[in-house]
Amino acid sequence: MESPFISFCIPTYNRAHIVEGCVKEILKCNEQDIEVVVCDNCSEDNTLELLNKINDKRLKIYTNEENMGYNYNLIKVCDVAVGEYLFLLSDEDRIMYEKIKDLKDFLNRNDYSVLTTVLTRKKSGEKLSLSERFKLPLKYIYNERRNLSVLSKVYKFLERGYVGGIILKKNSLDFQKIKDKELDYYLLYPQAYMSLMASNVGSSRVYGKSYIFVVDFSNYSFIFDEKNITGFHYAHPVSRKNEFEKKYYWICEFPYTNHQKKLLLYKLYKKGIVKSVKGYYFVLSNKYNKEFFKFNYKIRKLKMKIFINLVKIKYADEYFEYLKMTSEEFLKMFDFEIGKE
């Protein structure tokens, strides 16, 4: 077997038939210079039994002796893969296998260290809806016509919460550095950290094409158990505050200018904490009432305030401390407002 050009990397746990379908879909492709690498996180179901029945030398199966958590499993599956490029997948994804050759040609013509692709969603057992078929070319045109700045691409990588559809050049990643850190440093988003690392080694692109279907199997995601690291749901404002702080430490590892760090902080705060507070308030109030519009006005005032201080505060570290303090005050106000409902 020739050396793999693309490794399809799939971490999995307790979703035997789902991961089996994911693997079989990739292996429908006739290209021989690919490999499918699955890392099973000590599943209690028949995951290994089903995977071991697949007779294809392109499939590599690894397993952990105990459940090591999602972060460890994703990092491991990327580390053991030997392809020039790593195509990250969730076990619920379904590759558009007929596009793999096209993807290989595209990667050969370009030299990207990190590439994020468009996600296309569909329900299990159903064909792609007419609206999604119509959206696909529009998504491509929209993404390809945008001339994203380096900073905008970095922000996109930081905010990419879903693992599927991210493509990384293996030699742009320092796995020793990645493995030396505590696993909770990655907040259940090691793919975002790895994308950030790769983007600082070579060129990057937010690509307009889609290569996977994200299929809704209505199955429980075990990652949700791990995402409650603050005692709250991962989308809760308290969790978003924790995420905001950790991601700033990521940014500080790389050679961004003071001004770039400040802009990234502003974007992360506005789109993370502020948006989640607004969303949670609406979900809990369940209606556009008088209190909601008052709260929305306070949010607008906060956005203006943090923008003014983006200009006024000179150094990124000082702006970070200011945003941390502001977020604590803001969340207290949020709790008070919800308590009134």
pLDDT in tens, 239-270: 888 889 999 999 999 999 999 999 999 999 98
How many Cβ atoms are within 10 Å of 315's Cβ, its own excluded? Answer: 11
Q: Do 17 and 94 sit in the same domain of this protein?
A: yes
Is residue 208 one of the residues assigned to a domain? yes
Find the CATH number of the domain harbouring 181: 3.90.550.10
Is residue 143 one of the residues assigned to a domain? yes
Which residues make Cβ contacts (< 8 Å) with residue 176, sequence separation at least 6? none
Is residue 152 one of the residues assigned to a domain? yes
Is residue 318 one of the residues assigned to a domain? yes
Q: Could you tell me the residue range of the domain that residue 153 belongs to? A: 6-219
Q: Do 146 and 45 sit in the same domain of this protein?
A: yes
Is residue 1 one of the residues assigned to a domain? no
Give which of 311, 307, 310, 284 is closest to 295, Cα–Cα: 284
Q: Do 112 and 189 sit in the same domain of this protein?
A: yes
Q: Which of 191, 219, 247 is the endpoint of a domain? A: 219
Q: Do 211 and 253 sit in the same domain of this protein?
A: no
Q: Which of 160, 195, 219 is the endpoint of a domain? A: 219
Is residue 48 one of the residues assigned to a domain? yes
Q: Do 19 and 157 sit in the same domain of this protein?
A: yes
Is residue 237 one of the residues assigned to a domain? yes
* pTM > 0.85: yes or no: yes
Q: Do 175 and 290 sit in the same domain of this protein?
A: no
- Which DSSP state fits 105? H
Q: Do 209 and 258 sit in the same domain of this protein?
A: no
Q: Do 103 and 247 sit in the same domain of this protein?
A: no
Number of separate domains in the chain: 2
pLDDT in tens, 157-192: 999 889 999 999 999 999 999 999 998 899 889 999
Task: Record the tokens describing residue 185, joined without a space.
Answer: 């440093």
Q: What is the pLDDT along the chain (341 residues), one digit of tens a residue?
A: 578 999 999 999 999 999 999 999 999 999 999 999 999 999 999 999 999 999 999 999 999 999 999 999 999 999 999 999 999 999 999 999 999 999 999 999 999 999 999 888 766 555 555 565 555 555 555 555 555 678 888 999 999 889 999 999 999 999 999 999 998 899 889 999 999 999 999 999 988 889 999 887 656 666 656 555 556 677 778 888 888 999 999 999 999 999 999 999 999 998 888 888 777 766 665 555 666 677 778 888 888 999 999 999 999 999 999 999 998 887 776 664 443 43
Q: Do 95 and 187 sit in the same domain of this protein?
A: yes
Q: Which of 189, 219, 249 is the endpoint of a domain? A: 219
Buried b (16+ CB within 10 A) or exposed e, 123-146: eeeeeeeeeeeebeeebeeebeee
Task: Record the tokens describing residue 51, joined without a space.
Answer: 């995977």
Q: Do 299 and 186 sit in the same domain of this protein?
A: no
Q: Do 37 and 85 sit in the same domain of this protein?
A: yes
Is residue 308 one of the residues assigned to a domain? yes
Q: Do 56 and 168 sit in the same domain of this protein?
A: yes
Q: Measured at the alpha carbon of residue 202, what is the angle toward residues 198 and 207, in degrees to the nearest 5?
A: 80
